[in-house]
Structure 1
Amino acid sequence: MLQPLLPDQVERSVAAAMTPAARLVLALAAVHAARVAQIAALMLDDVDLGNRRLTIAGRARPLDDLTLKLLTGSLNHRRRRWPSTANLHLLINNQTANTTGRASNHWISAPLRGQDASLERLRVDRQLEEALTHGPEPLHLAEVFGLDEKTAMRYADSARTLLDQAAEQHLQ
């Protein structure tokens, strides 16, 4: 059964995200439930600041205030650090700034490596939180996150069990 992260686990990961890119990556996993490979594949064209939209893996999502702030900070850092790069990927580094290639999954996940709240755990936690908050409905989860039916059902089952356990504890 999937378990939610503890607040101190998340806080340690937030503290470990020291750069603008690392903070943005953390938000993309924790708020938008994006996988590392999806984050690495993001292009500048996937960002629509004017309409506050972000397209992840072909799915347009609204930009919340936190992600918008982190995205703007990361783009400003990118513009200052590599003003004449031709790389159209959203996240670039010293190795990719002079190419058109994407940053590696290893580089993207490095700031949170070793943390209890890794990017994968943050992504899972976000999807579980959605099931706990909006009800354990597999169709809702599949629609919001683009999950296949088996995965959506797994999240819904875990949320249902957690909600039942909480109700039982409340009655005692």
Structure 2
Amino acid sequence: MTDEEIAHAEQTATTPVARLAVVLAAAHAAREEAMRGLLLEHLDFAAGTVTLDGHPQRMGTLTRTAMRAWLAERKARRPHTLNRHVLVSQQTAGTTRPVSNYFLKRQLTLHGVSLARIRADRVLGEALATGADPLHLTVLFDLSPATAVKYAELARRLLHGSFDQQPNPGH
């Protein structure tokens, strides 16, 4: 992502729920479906983990802070909800359903912030930082092997300054 895109995401994510979505995409490469499906049982503050798509991940300070801010707002706005999803809205507070696809779009995408782009930037950043190992990317982010190889190949091209050359599928 460009510095301008990062600044725009920071300026746009002014509510606790928007900040949480950006943090989950940026720190954990969480997909929107994973955010929508995240349950309160998937949070373990004592152990410092969040389980996304069935994969426990360390909850760093940024995630912990954003999660606590959103949970405080959630409790203040909807103190009696029985909905176990972390993300709840006015429409889902009285149900057990996850928020709609539109919920996160309304928070960010309609304002020019792409959670998919933030997620992709996180995966590419990890590939660059860890030597472009597709197995590592597959395990860490639950990527398909083909997708992990694409990220690893892009990272290798960036690391070796061969971005303008076409990749060699035999290597």
SS of 1:25's equivalent? helix
Q: Which runs of 4+ in 1 moved over 3 A?
A: 114-117
Map 1:130-145 to 2 at 5 A.
130-145=126-141
The separation in 1 between residues aligned to 2:112 and 2:129, in whole angstroms, is 23
Map 1:14-163 to 2 at 5 A.
14-114=10-110, 117-163=113-159
In percent, how many aligned pairs have the same letter? 37
Residue in 2 that maps onto 1:170: none
**Which stretch shifts more, 10-19 or 58-67?**
10-19
The separation in 2 between residues aligned to 1:30 and 1:136, in whole angstroms, is 18
Q: Is the 8 A contact 1:9 1:115 kept in 2?
A: no
The one-letter code matched in structure 2 to 1:160 is R
Tell me the CA shift for residue 110 of structure 1: 2.2
Gaps of 5+ in 2: 164-171
Tell me the CA shift for residue 109 of structure 1: 2.7
Q: 1:159 to 1:109 in 2, by over 3 A?
A: same
Tell me the CA shift for residue 165 of structure 1: 1.5
TM-score, normalised to structure 1, is 0.90
The separation in 2 between residues aligned to 1:114 and 1:44, in whole angstroms, is 27
Tell me the CA shift for residue 77 of structure 1: 0.7
Tell me the CA shift for residue 164 of structure 1: 1.4
SS of 1:108's equivalent? helix
**Which stretch shifts more, 35-44 or 157-166?**
157-166
The answer to whether 1:13 aligns with 2:9 is yes
